[in-house]
Chains A and B, each alone.
Chain A
Amino acid sequence: MQTKSTDPKVFRRAVGPENVSTEESELEHFRTAGLSSRGEPAAVVRPQGTAQLREVILLARETATNLVFTSSAPPRFRGDTVPAGEGIIVDLSGMDRILRIDRRNKVAYIEPGVTFNNLIERADEAGLKVLMPLLPRKSKSVLACFLEREPIIIPKYHWDMTDPLLCTEMVFGSGDLFRTGTAGSPGGIDRQLKAGLAHKNPLGPGATDFLRIVQGSQGTLAGVTWATIKLEAKPTVHKIYFACDDRLERLVAFTYRALRPRLGDEWLILGARSLATIIAESPGSIDELARRQAPWTLVYGVSGYRYYPEERLAVQENELARIAQAVGVRPVPEVPSCPAKKMEEILAGPSPYPYYKTVPRGAFADVAFLTTLDKAGAMVEVMSTACDAHGYPPSELGIYIQPIQQGRTAHVEFTVYYDPADEADRARACELVEAASWELDEAGAFFSRPYGSLSRIAFRNCPDSVEALRKVKQVMDPDNVLNRGKLCFGEEVV
């Protein structure tokens, strides 16, 4: 398909002139992000609902325009909302209603613009808690976050990779409307609610799972206009513990044995630098704080619910203490400069503005992938060697290990901090991330949600999946109008 120059005025027809902007102050947010190369956003278009989004997509098909969805407000870091070449930004952040919270069935109905803060407040009023990723940006869309398969910090609630996303409404790149899970059952939503549906079943309809297909697609297949999100009951008692160690293997052994019978709530492992970055009150204190921490800290929570809460808490504490002793780990109620209470508050909400990872040096680049917990240590070694080779001190590397799928899989995230104003520093970070990604790939890292140039690495390993994915793309986005050139849908991959 030929790419035409995009005339933003066309989209006024769909959303009204007031919802089309060509202001540079808005466009600049989509020119670059993180280490991505420059894009050329021509306008920001703001649909006010599903019908308008459909119109926008249909117009894009008519005019061969590249559309890039965004649901969060800036700052942005990954480059998935920077068009590859020219494009129109479809900003859904204005669709920000929490449509419904159902306490009994523990589910929230949200539009794409709903952020964690809004949702936490509403859920809390209902006695529910939001399943949080680790410190999302304040402006981050809840829906976009889970569409990206961002891991949550309570592994026992992560039954499958789609969690905690449940049902959705989406508009395919063809302009067709589709509803997934039980939202796709007969009848409109009001009628379904009257019939008692709570939109808790994420599968189908029928023998296809379009939610699963669209998740992780970085806006290349469909735009999602609302979703139901799984919430959980708020514990009546809750405590945070730490286990500090200079050997990651011990914490991994502890994690395996604890998560197998689903002990504990929050469960994550942080390297000293990441922990310091999270708990520091000021940028200046990070180095010193990092020095005072053990190389590895496991943070975990235990809870009691409505019935015999103290008894449950005691059972959990005792079981975990037994396991800890067996593997040679010692749970403690605080780490330097961070008592349990403080960590509890940190984990319960989004990051302070603008984002905790920008605090150390002003900018950062992540390398995130999946593996199993027993391989995490080897991955750390690969990354540290790469750091050494590029003159980046391994002690300054951010490391975050998150068990997901109830402990069967581990999300590993390395963060390289750099000064965006220092071209050499930026270049070094860029080279390190690129080189390390290849080496990690060789060592078995699975880049399940590759951003930017990482796609080249991720998709070269699975040419047959690429072939199948391209066929799926052809079905859902026949004119290739959605986030052109991303993932394996560009020319250069495979």
Chain B
Amino acid sequence: MDTVMLSRLQFASTTIFHFIFVPLSIGLALILAIMQTMYVVKGDERYKTMTKFWGKLFLINFAVGVVTGIIQEFQFGMNWSDYSRFVGDVFGAPLAIEALAAFFLESTFIGLWIFGWDRLSKKVHLACIWLVAFGTTLSAFWILAANSFMQRPVGFEVVNGRAEMNDFFALITNGQLLVEFPHTIFSAFATGAFLIAGISAWKLLKKQDTDFFKKSFHVSIIVALLSSVLVALFGHQQAQYLVHTQPMKMAAAEGLWENSGDPAAWTVWAAIDPEKQESTKEFKIPYALSFLSYSKFSGEVVGMKQLQSEYEATYGEGNYIPPVRTTFWSFRIMVACGTLMIVLAAYGWYLSARKKLDQKHTWFYRLMVAAIFMPIVANTAGWIMTEIGRQPWTVFGLLRTEDSVSPSVTSGEVLFSLISFTTIYTILAVVLVYLFLKVIKRGPNAVVEKTEKITSDPFAKEGLHV
């Protein structure tokens, strides 16, 4: 394989892996902050136990998210040096601000939160977890500001063959960002919420600590429901935006070779043949694509063939059609998961609110355990659609992927790093799952016992005052 392909493979695999943990961290931080607020406001110790128990999982996950993020910041320069030269002026700024504004905030206050239980007042300690939650969300904003530039470049001019920033405000009010950020952030909240809800369901299935896990389920399912609905709403906004700014991505996501005709039908299923440039065995819902694209039941969506000739006129000869099957199916996987999440969260919320969470619903508990992976699959599929659907570009209309790679790095070197990163990530994943299961099996009582043991330690007092 050549350097471009290997570098793409590495970027894709490290980013997908990193982005399993990032949304979990963002979502869990928010839910922990909510739980701890309930503890501080209500003075109910059970919420403290909740914060500590779920906090354990959060910290394991957070550590993996942090360390896999270091690669993310380095590999633009390492593997995509020509890209970095071209866009650094514009793209580097949000990255630097992300580090300065968000990374410092979350890393400092997570330290204060972990070690500060006995050293800070209740309210200050509570403020720490809120600042962590705020920091993770802020971090998402800045990195998505950078990504949005790749989807829809704004606020720049090309000087001496490099993109130079000329309007910072345009960069952070990029229309793409305004739809991409809420869509991503609510999906992150949902990801954290489904993890807690799923684990709670598992424990309820096993009839362990039922009060504790019913309460946890209740808190998380509210977050899950609200965010799943909002993800879908902002997803719809994003789709409408896409039709205008990256019509080729939308057309590929629909497997739409020819123009759709008016009104446009949404393809649920199709056999796509990129060689012959046709889709067969299609199953379509009338009017639905018009609604998806324009929020009304009329309007035509332009197909890939027409767009290809338009792009050739604008950008010169070349193939501007992204891998259609991948874009098409990743979109459908995302939408299917998202829809199921809403249904499950709604039903779970209904059961929980009506106090009907009991042993009659084992099938539902099982579904909720499986649903832990649903947001993760949806996140991954969504990003695959976004990034693959943008091909052949790294920065849409400005820079191609093949021109972005580092000229001085050999394919052997990339192969070495790809194998190393994949190996270490595999180990991380195994250890993380092992530790997760361990914490879950021990249950919330392990957290409580530990606290008591310290206070009964005859040396404890001395230890704290040295």
Partners in one complex: no
Binding site for B on A (CB under 8 A): none
Instruction: Please give the residue numbers on chain B whose beta carbons come within 8 Å of chain A beta carbons, in ascending order.
Output: none
